[in-house]
Structure 1
Amino acid sequence: MPQQLGQLSLLVRDYDEAIDYYTQILDFELLEDTKLSETKRWVRVSPPGSTCHLLLAKAANETQERQIGFQAGGRVFLFLYTDDFWRDYKTYSDRGVEFIREPAEESYGTVSVFRDLYGNLWDLIERKQIV
Structure 2
Amino acid sequence: MITGVSKVVLTVRDCDAAKEFWVGRMGFAVETDAEYGEGARWLEVRSPSGVTLVLDGKSPDRAGDRSVPEELPHSNVFFTCEDIEKTYAELVERGVRFPQPPVKQPWGWWSLFEDQDGTRYALNQG
Q: TM-score of the superposition, structure 2-length normalised?
A: 0.44
- Higher-RCO chain (CA-CA 8 Å, sequence separation at least 6): 2
Considering only CA atoms, is the larger Rg found in Structure 1 or Structure 2? 1
TM-score by length of 1: 0.42
